[in-house]
Amino acid sequence: MMPTPRAILFDLDDTILKFGDRHQLGIAVAQEYSAFLGHLKATEVGDAVEAFTQDFWASEENLRLWRYKMFEARVFIVENTFQILYDKAPALTSEVARQFGKRLHELRDGDVACYPGALATLDEFRRRGVLLALVTNG
């Protein structure tokens, strides 16, 4: 059996805290905005927003510049996605993109929870006298 460590650092995001499924939330918001989608399906819009999001956050430069401005980043992502989709759905204007991005941000930030067992694990380590620290890059 391994000895109990003296201290542990835990990453907060996606280790202790989980967020709602970004892709599914995008589809859900697209369903709310179905009147603006023209012939596009909500899944197509959600897929497009997710694809742009993945490409956007894959950039180290974007991570550096936008990671502390999540609301603005989400709106920026949706605006740029809607520009790509505009020929298929001209009602996807910049104003609709801003509203869509705001709604996506509200849902994403409102869907934060602890992973099952995360708090019990922290409590048990604390009970054993382990020094704990939570860290995050977000």
For 17-39, give the DSSP string. Answer: EE---HHHHHHHHHHHTGGG-TT
120 is a domain residue: no
6 is a domain residue: no
Q: What is the pLDDT of residues 114-126, one digit of tens each?
A: 999 999 999 999 9
Q: Which domain holds residue 46?
A: 20-111
Nearest CA-CA partner of 6 in 126, 136, 135: 126
Q: What was the pLDDT predicted at 138?
A: 62
CA 27/CA 41 separation, integer angstroms: 9
Q: What was the pLDDT predicted at 111?
A: 78
Nearest CA-CA partner of 43 in 34, 52, 35: 34
| Overall residue count recorded for the chain in this entry | 138
60 is a domain residue: yes
Average pLDDT (77-94) is: 96
15 is a domain residue: no
**Residue 20: pLDDT band with limits 50, 70, 90:** confident
Query: Cα angle at 92 between 91 and 94, to 5 degrees?
Result: 115
What is the pTM assigned to this prediction? Answer: 0.79
Instruction: Please count the structural domains in the chain.
Output: 1
Nearest CA-CA partner of 33 in 124, 131, 102, 120: 102
